[in-house]
């Protein structure tokens, strides 16, 4: 996963790019090209949270985060419900079935003007930097848990697929699910001895009624990479 310089033109050539989210660390876009069987996510790590990390450590942070994501993925493939969590819906028990989505297969670079601030986000300035980008994460349709909890507008609700309808207009189930997912993040953090923080925008639940389970897709294990970086003893050692 070695970075390549200024690969944005090659990304543009892949297919239609639809911006879908703005996170603490990155702008997230969805690239679609049915003719070439391309349906992936690209993340531009250009947000001020990530830019507050010393540039000389930025690539190391991303690579370590991707490696930790892979470790959790392998862990959960062996046991999709390590805490034996269940939710009751209409008097039926549904086990939680966790799935971790790898971050991407390529780490790329792009020169871009970004906002940079100090550790307290004071003295924000515009600077030209070579930002990191990831390409290749699988895209999943449907609403994230945050949108389901907020019970968004009609346009938002239309993005919910059939297996998510049970969560619409059902805040009690969504909030209970949120608590359980938060617990699994604490479990992951303890197992890896790193700081992994739950954010409902990074979670998409789907009901499998026939299978008696709720599939919980997790697209990111960090609410922001600055906290992940500052709270991990791995990076403290490398800075000395």
Residue 16 lies in a domain: yes
Segments in the chain below pLDDT 50: 1-4, 154
Q: Give the pLDDT confidence of 136-155 residue by residue, as tens digits.
A: 999 999 999 998 888 655 45
pLDDT at 119: 61
pLDDT at 6: 63
* Cβ-contact 93, 176 below 8 angstroms: no
Q: Quote the crossing angle between the two packed helices 55-78 and 171-192, to the nearest 10°.
A: 110
Longest dimension (CA), the chain: 57
Closest CA to 41 of 59, 64, 24, 18: 18
Residue 127 lies in a domain: yes
> Domain tally for the chain?
1
Residue 121 lies in a domain: yes
Residue 3 lies in a domain: no
SS3 of the chain: CCCCCCCHHHHHCCCEEEEEEECCCCEEEEEEEHHHCEEEEEEEECCHHHHCCCHHHHHHHHHHHHHHHHHHHHHHHHCCCCCCCEEEECCEEEEEEEEECCCEEEEEEEEEEEEECCCCCCCCEEEEEEEEEEEEEECCCCCCHHHHHHCCCHHHHCCCCHHHHHHCCCHHHHHHHHHHHHHHHHHHHHHHCCCCCCCHHHEEEEEECCCCEEEEEECCCCCCHHHHHHCCHHHHHHHC
pLDDT at 5: 52
Give the range of the structural domain holding residue 109, as residue numbers without chain letter.
8-239
Report the C-alpha gap between 50 and 116 in whole angstroms: 9
Closest CA to 48 of 107, 119, 111: 119
Residue 2 lies in a domain: no
pLDDT at 152: 58
Residue 1 lies in a domain: no
| Chain centroid, CA 38 distance in Å | 20
* Cβ-contact 137, 102 below 8 angstroms: yes
Phi, psi of 150 (to 5 degrees): -75, -15
* Cβ-contact 100, 203 below 8 angstroms: no
Residue 215 lies in a domain: yes
Q: Give the length of the chain.
A: 240
Please give the torsion angle defined by the CA atoms of residues 60, 62, 65 and 69, in that order, rounded to the nearest 10 degrees.
-130
Q: Count the neighbouring beta carbons within 10 Å of the beta carbon of residue 20.
A: 11
């Amino acid at each position: 996963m070695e970075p390549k310089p200024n690969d944005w033109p090659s990304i543009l050539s892949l297919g239609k790019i639809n911006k879908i989210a703005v996170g603490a660390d990155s702008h997230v876009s969805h690239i679609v090209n049915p003719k070439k069987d391309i349906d992936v996510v690209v993340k531009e790590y250009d947000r001020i949270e990530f830019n507050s990390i010393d540039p000389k450590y930025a690539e190391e942070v991303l690579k370590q985060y991707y490696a930790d994501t892979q470790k959790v993925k392998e862990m959960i493939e062996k046991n999709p419900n390590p805490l034996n969590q269940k939710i009751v819906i209409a008097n039926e028990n549904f086990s939680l079935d966790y799935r971790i989505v790898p971050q991407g297969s390529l780490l790329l670079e792009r020169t871009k003007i970004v906002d940079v601030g100090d550790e307290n986000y004071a003295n924000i300035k515009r600077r030209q930097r070579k930002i990191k980008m990831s390409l290749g994460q699988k895209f999943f349709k449907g609403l994230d848990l945050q949108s389901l909890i907020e019970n968004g507008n009609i346009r938002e609700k239309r993005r919910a697929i059939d297996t998510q309808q049970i969560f619409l207009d059902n805040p009690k189930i969504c909030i209970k699910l949120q608590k359980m997912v938060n617990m699994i993040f604490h479990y992951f953090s303890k197992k890896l001895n790193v700081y992994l923080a739950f954010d409902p925008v990074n979670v998409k639940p789907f009901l499998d009624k026939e299978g008696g389970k709720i599939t919980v897709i997790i697209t990111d294990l960090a609410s922001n990479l600055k906290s992940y970086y500052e709270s991990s003893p791995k990076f403290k050692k490398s800075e000395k």
